[in-house]
């Protein structure tokens, strides 16, 4: 670890193999908290390279709860968080719409980090389990179109590093790569990031990791979700080609709303908003979910334009298919709990 710290302190990036060895060292009991903290801080000061980020993700995936290789054509729409917008759980709500539209979803998420309510907090309030194993994830994705992967359960070996991150109290490489550490092999992905300057770099990391098609976005007001408040910045990765573009809600037939109109609250309030959206209640929450789902459907390749994606998202909610995906996930969780008791 000392040698890698010296390299980073001198402003030199680590190769894929050097980063792999350094990250592996972080999980060795003999490595001290101060060494881990120094390593993460040095990486941040130097600036994380594509190779360093990709290598870290690979190691974390390998150390995660194993997932079946039988799952194919699976997507995730997890964001980094950290935008400070206090918005309701947009990507979590959108995940059920995506599943209802026929996209297989492995929804990766955590409890609240920078917002009042994380995906795990709101889903737990709705009755969704947080401890699904490999076979259960596979069953849920194949039969219901969506499973929830709770990050601390999936990445149980991260406790030591998590403690260091909490003690540091500054954003590190882990704040960027969280959405990429889903252990299910994803072919497509929508990734929201709180840093606009990282869009192309994140797309390159996804390419390095073998993702076929993805959109990385930073919303109006620097949200890590697409926003109807103005211009959103997006990067499309498609078979190794990277294309940057901007998009507003008006361009796909959606009205303008300020970001203040989509603020959420505690888990109970956000659960209420999620249910209202899936049941089709009109307003800024629904339209924001339509926008984000439309973009995700385009990223997945389910539709050929984002406008088509918005239309399909609306039809999916109106048909009740999105709400049905949540109902089935809650029912599965309740049955699992009964078996434990």
Residues annotated in the binding site for Mg(2+), as ranges? 91, 224-225
pLDDT of 340 reads 62
Residues annotated in the binding site for anthranilate, as ranges? 79, 110, 165
Residues annotated in the binding site, as ranges? 79, 82-83, 87, 89-92, 107-115, 119, 165, 224-225
pLDDT of 275 reads 98
pLDDT of 112 reads 76
One digit per residue, the tens of pLDDT, for the chain of length 341 reads 899 999 999 999 999 999 999 999 999 999 999 999 999 999 999 999 999 999 999 999 999 999 977 889 999 999 998 888 889 999 999 999 999 999 999 999 998 765 678 999 999 999 999 999 999 999 999 999 999 999 999 999 898 898 999 899 899 999 999 999 999 999 999 999 999 999 999 999 999 999 999 999 999 999 999 999 999 999 999 999 999 999 999 999 999 999 999 999 999 999 999 999 999 999 999 999 999 999 999 999 999 999 999 999 999 999 999 999 999 999 999 998 777 65
pLDDT of 39 reads 96
Q: How far apart are CA 252 and CA 292, in angstroms?
A: 11
Q: How far apart are CA 207 and CA 210, in angstroms?
A: 5
Q: How far apart are CA 212 and CA 30, in angstroms?
A: 38
Residues annotated in the binding site for 5-phospho-alpha-D-ribose 1-diphosphate, as ranges? 79, 82-83, 87, 89-92, 107-115, 119
pLDDT of 338 reads 78
Q: Residue 49 carries which DSSP code?
A: -
Q: How far apart are CA 92 and CA 79, in angstroms?
A: 10
**Phi (first) and psi of residue 311, to 5 degrees:** -65, -45
Q: How far apart are CA 225 and CA 275, in angstroms?
A: 19
pLDDT of 339 reads 76
pLDDT of 115 reads 61
pLDDT of 247 reads 98
Specify the length of the chain in residues.
Answer: 341
pLDDT of 113 reads 62
Render the burial of 170-188: b for 16+ CB within 10 Å, e for the rest: ebbbbbbbbbbbbbbbbbb
């Amino acid at each position: 670890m000392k040698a890698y710290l010296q390299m980073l302190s001198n402003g030199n990036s680590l190769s894929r193999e050097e980063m792999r060895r350094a990250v592996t060292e972080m999980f060795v009991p003999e490595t001290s908290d101060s060494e881990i903290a120094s390593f993460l801080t040095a990486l941040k000061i130097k600036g994380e390279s594509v190779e360093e980020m990709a290598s870290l993700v690979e190691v974390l995936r390998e150390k995660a709860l194993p997932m079946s290789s039988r799952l194919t054509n699976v997507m995730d729409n997890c964001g980094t968080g950290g935008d400070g917008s206090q918005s309701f759980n947009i990507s979590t709500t959108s995940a059920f719409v995506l599943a209802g539209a026929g996209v297989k979803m492995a929804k990766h998420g955590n409890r609240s980090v920078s917002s009042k309510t994380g995906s795990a907090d709101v889903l737990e309030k709705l009755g969704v389990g947080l401890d699904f194993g490999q076979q259960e994830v596979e069953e849920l994705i194949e039969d219901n179109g969506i499973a929830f992967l709770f990050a601390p359960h999936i990445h149980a070996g991260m406790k030591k590093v998590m403690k260091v991150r909490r003690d540091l109290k500054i954003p590190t490489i882990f704040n960027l790569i969280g959405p990429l550490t889903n252990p299910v092999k994803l072919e497509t992905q929508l990734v929201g990031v709180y840093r606009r300057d990282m869009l192309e770099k994140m797309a390159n990391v996804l390419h390095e990791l073998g993702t076929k098609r993805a959109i990385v976005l930073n919303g109006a007001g620097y949200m890590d979700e697409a926003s109807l408040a103005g211009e959103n910045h997006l990067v499309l990765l498609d078979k190794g080609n990277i294309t940057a573009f901007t998009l507003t809600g008006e361009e796909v037939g959606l009205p303008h709303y300020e970001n203040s109109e989509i603020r959420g609250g505690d888990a109970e309030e956000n659960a209420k908003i999620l249910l209202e959206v899936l049941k089709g209640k009109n307003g800024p929450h629904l339209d924001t979910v339509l926008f984000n789902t439309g973009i995700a459907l385009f990223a997945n390749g389910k539709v050929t334009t984002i406008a088509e994606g918005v239309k399909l998202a609306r039809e999916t909610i109106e048909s009740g298919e999105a709400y049905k995906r949540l109902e089935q996930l809650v029912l599965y969780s309740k049955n699992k709990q009964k078996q434990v008791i």
